[in-house]
Amino acid sequence: MTKTALPEILARYFDAQNRHDIDALVACFNPDAVVHDEGRDIIGTEAIRAWKIETSAKYSVTVEPVEARLEDGKTVVLATVSGNFKGSPANLTYRFGLNDAGIHSLAIG
């Protein structure tokens, strides 16, 4: 799978991330979705919204997907992340769990 083959929901997620459109980004998630980032779990869209407001203000990141593949039922995206953090830009791995309703899990590392 390549960048151009991202599932539509992930293309929307990364587009919203790069436009810093928190409403559009949160709309990509299931209501009970779980995000694991920076050693903590964020559960549900209201918590995900708060997490994105916090991290957007703190880091102002943009994300450029480099490659994507299916692995153990997850869509794994390697991306170059740039922003206001030590070591920027950095390559991070996004592990998405998807279902018909959208993103139900995301682990960033």
Domain coordinates of the chain in residue numbers?
A: 3-108
> How far apart, in whole angstroms, are the C-alpha atoms of residue 66 and residue 79?
5
Mean per-residue pLDDT, 14-42:
97
Task: Assess whether pLDDT exceeds 60 at residue 4.
Answer: no
109 in helix, strand or coil? coil
The fold of 3-108 is Nuclear Transport Factor 2; Chain: A, (3.10.450)
pLDDT of residue 23: 98
Are the CB atoms for 6 and 77 separated by under 8 Å? yes
The pTM (predicted TM-score) of the whole model is 0.92
